[in-house]
Amino acid sequence: KVCSVCGDYASGFHYKCWTCEGCKGFFRRSISKYSTYTCERNNNCVMEKYSRNHCQKCRYEKCLAVGMVPNASQG
């Protein structure tokens, strides 16, 4: 399985999506802090394994777009 957010190896089914440990942790931290991110590139950043850390806003939006659910228990 591959991560629905960045395409890396998916470690499991987290927040109702197949994700890697990096995206799982990022999403968990984002929802626990109620983070508000901004994008410097018109909200159009590419989310891939090696570029996923470049823009928090686009990464969080991709998490939501692929169906990650903030209040879902993991699994």
> pLDDT of the chain along its 75 residues, tens only?
999 999 999 999 999 999 999 999 999 999 988 778 999 999 999 999 999 999 999 999 999 999 999 887 655
Q: Give the C-alpha separation, 43 to 7, whole Å.
A: 19
Which domains does the chain carry?
A: 12-65 (3.30.50.10)
The number of angstroms, rounded, from the C-alpha of 59 to the middle of its chain's C-alpha atoms is 5
- Model pLDDT, residue 74: 56
3-class DSSP assignment, residue 22: helix
So what's the pLDDT on residue 20? 98
Residue type, 22: G
- C-alpha 19 chain-centroid distance: 8
- Write down the pLDDT at residue 14: 96
Tally the C-alpha atoms within 13 A of residue 50's C-alpha that lie toward its C-beta. Answer: 0
Look at the pTM and tell me if it is higher than 0.75. Answer: yes
Rg (CA), the chain: 11
